[in-house]
Amino acid sequence: MRVTSSLETALTPTAVALGNFDGVHRGHQRVVQPVLNVLANQKPLLLPPDVYSWGGNIEGEVLPSKGEGLALRSGVGKGNAYATVVTFDPHPREFFTGMRRTLLTPLEEKVVQLRSLGVEQLVLLPFTRELACLSPNEFVEKILVQQLRCTLISVGDDFRFGKGRAGSSADLQAIAASYGVEVLIIPPLLCEDERISSSSIRQHLLHGDIQKANRLLGRPYSLTGMVVKGQQLGTKLGFPTANLQLPKEKFLPRQGVYCVRAFIEDSLEKNDCQSEDSFVNAEIDPAINISPLEVKSPRLCPISGVMNIGYRPTVDGTTSTVEVHLLDWSGDLYGKTITVTLEEFLRPEQKFSSLDALIAQIQADCTAARAFLQNLRQV
C-alpha cells in the first residue's frame, strides 16, 4: 500500500473513501467497501435491502436508511482507479483547538488496518490554514476532481467538509455530480441498537466495557509498543512484566487490570504459527514520520497474559505505566515489539495493604485470565 502526504505524488485516478477513520471500525469498513469493489473490477456490491433497513439484523448490525437499501449503480467498477482512503493530518479538531488528540489507531496502526482491508493507497491531506479556508465547492474542484481525479467517492452520512464545516455529505454529492463524479453516502451502522462511532468506542473503553468496544471495532482493541526497562518490581514479586513504550498519541482505556493476548513480533524463529511474512508491504512517503519496518502486522500465535494500566499505588508509583505479564512464557523481551489485544477488563487498579495481598491478587488475576481465555477458545 502506498502512503503519501503529497497530492502531487498520489497515484491517480482514484476511487476514494473520505473521512477521518480513527479506529478503522466496522462503520468505517462499510465506507471503504465501495472503493474496494472498484479495485476488484466488478459491479459494486448490492447488499440485501434488509441490511439497510431498520428491521434487518446481520451479526448484530443494522444499517438504517430512508429508502429500500443502498443501490450502488452498475458500471462504477470499470476503469483502473486506485482504491484510496483520504484522511486529514492533523485531525481538523486538533488543528482548530491546538490540543493534541489521542487516537484509537495512530498512523502505523491505521496503515496496518487499511492494508489488511485491501486498500491500495492512503493519502494524508495536510490540514493547513489554506485547506481549512476552502469552500465546499473549492474542495471538490481543487482537491477531489483536479488533483485526485476521483471517479467515485464514498463517505459516511455525517461527513462534513469545507470552511466552517459548511458542506454536508448531501452537498458533496450534489457538487461532485456537476463534475460527473458519483458520491455514495453510506448509512450509519448499528450494533445492538448503538451507532458505531469512534467516540462511542472511546466511551466503552473508558468505562472498561472491552467486549462491547471490541464488537463495535470488529476486532479486539490493541496496544503496540516496544518493551523497555522498568523498575523490575514485577520480577521481585514473582511476576515479571514487560513494560510497553506506546506512541504518545495512543488512546488508553480505563486504568486497571486486563485479560490480554500478546503477540511478540520479533520471535519468528521461535514460533511455528507465523504467516509467510509478518510485515505489511507499505511504500511510505519519506515526508511521513514512520518507516516500513514500524508498520507491522502481528500474525503469530498469541500468548495469554494479564496487563495493568496505571500508577501501581501499592508500591507508590508516580507515573502511569502499561505492564504485561505473560502466562507460561519466559525469555528476554527487551527491545522487542509486542502487540497486546484486550479481551476483558478484570478489575480496577487498587492499593493493597501489603505486598503479600498484592501477590495474592495477581495470582487471582492470572487464574481469572486463564479461565476467561479458555472459555473464549471453546465458544
Mean pLDDT of 36-63: 45
The residue whose grid cell reads 479556508 is: 133
CA distance 282 to 278: 12
Q: Is the pLDDT of residue 295 over 60?
A: no
CA distance 220 to 218: 7
CA distance 160 to 19: 9
For domain 2-191, give the CATH number: 3.40.50.620
CA distance 185 to 31: 8
Domain spanning 197-378, CATH class: mainly beta
The CA-CA-CA angle for residues 93, 94, 99, to 5°, reads 125
Residue 318: predicted pLDDT: 61
Contact 143, 6 (CB under 8 A): no
How does the average pLDDT of the chain come out, rounded? 83
Contact 366, 325 (CB under 8 A): yes
Q: Where are the domains of the chain?
A: 2-191, 197-378
Q: Is the pLDDT of residue 375 over 60?
A: yes
Q: Which residues contact 364 (CB under 8 A, 6 or more apart)?
A: none
Residue 237: predicted pLDDT: 80
The pLDDT-based confidence of 289 (bands split at 50, 70, 90) is: low
**What is the per-residue pLDDT across 154-176, written as a single tens digit (0 to 9) for each?**
999 999 999 989 999 999 999 99
The pLDDT-based confidence of 340 (bands split at 50, 70, 90) is: very high
Per-residue CA distances from 113 to 106, 117, 120, 327, 361 (Å): 11, 7, 12, 27, 36
CA distance 9 to 251: 31
Q: Where are the alpha helices (DSSP H) in the chain?
A: 26-39, 92-97, 107-117, 129-132, 136-138, 169-177, 198-206, 210-217, 233-237, 355-378
The pLDDT-based confidence of 50 (bands split at 50, 70, 90) is: very low
**What is the per-residue pLDDT across 308-334, written as a single tens digit (0 to 9) for each?**
999 876 666 667 899 999 998 888 899
CA distance 314 to 354: 7
The pLDDT-based confidence of 238 (bands split at 50, 70, 90) is: confident
Residue 51: predicted pLDDT: 29
Closest to 156 in 3D by CA, of 176, 198, 186, 182:
186
Task: Please state which of the ranges 104-113, 183-192, 254-263, 348-357 shows the lowest mean pLDDT.
Answer: 348-357
**What is the per-residue pLDDT across 259-284, written as a single tens digit (0 to 9) for each?**
999 999 854 434 444 333 334 456 76
CA distance 102 to 251: 5
**What is the per-residue pLDDT across 126-157, written as a single tens digit (0 to 9) for each?**
999 999 999 999 999 999 999 999 999 999 99
The pLDDT-based confidence of 258 (bands split at 50, 70, 90) is: very high
Q: Is the pLDDT of residue 357 over 60?
A: yes
What pTM was estimated for this model as a whole? Answer: 0.81
Higher pLDDT, 293 or 205: 205
